[in-house]
Structure 1
Amino acid sequence: MKQVTQYVTTGELAKLMKYDARTIRERLKDSVLIEGRHYIRPFGGRKILYDWSAIQQDMRKFSQQAMAIPMTNGGVSHG
């Protein structure tokens, strides 16, 4: 089954993530949220649309990595 991409505005993303919209614009955009992966500028304009599914995917991935304990053999333990 093909996953449908859901694009959201900065205000909508702020509500979904429980962040202030200003925090997203000033701190997360271009440092954590990367153009082409997490957001696009349709038709080369100023408006930004965020890919909510890509953001969720990366939040899960980095959350799991944060819980991992590094092992001497290069692997990780998850608990």
Structure 2
Amino acid sequence: MLNDMTYLTTDELAKRIKYDARTIREQLKDSVLLEGVHYIRPFGGRKILFVWETIQKDMVKASSAGIFLPMARGGMAHG
């Protein structure tokens, strides 16, 4: 096996993290979830696949690092 990563569509990720798929696409993608780190575009196409293990690790790390307040443009304020 070359890669043991779990790749998820936006809808599959939304179900796992209990967020609306639209919120992921419009607010989290490219501000919190970064291309090449948290998601890829296979074969250079439009489809996006999220890397579950990286997202899960970073969610736990962020929640233990302190308080984060969501901001209007999708960023996070550190409290």
Give the TM-score category using the shorter length: 0.7 to 0.9
Larger radius of gyration: 1
Is residue 8 of structure 2 the alignment partner of residue 19 of structure 1? no
Could you tell me the TM-score, scaled by structure 2's length? 0.79
Could you tell me the TM-score, scaled by structure 1's length? 0.79
* Rounded Cα–Cα distance in structure 2 between residues aligned with 1:10 and 1:60: 20
Stretches of structure 1 lacking an aligned partner (at least 5 in a row): 68-79
RMSD over aligned Cα, in angstroms? 1.3
> 2:35 is aligned with what amino acid?
E
Q: Percent identity?
A: 66
Stretches of structure 2 lacking an aligned partner (at least 5 in a row): 68-79
* Rounded Cα–Cα distance in structure 2 between residues aligned with 1:45 and 1:39: 13
* Rounded Cα–Cα distance in structure 1 between residues aligned with 2:6 and 2:66: 26
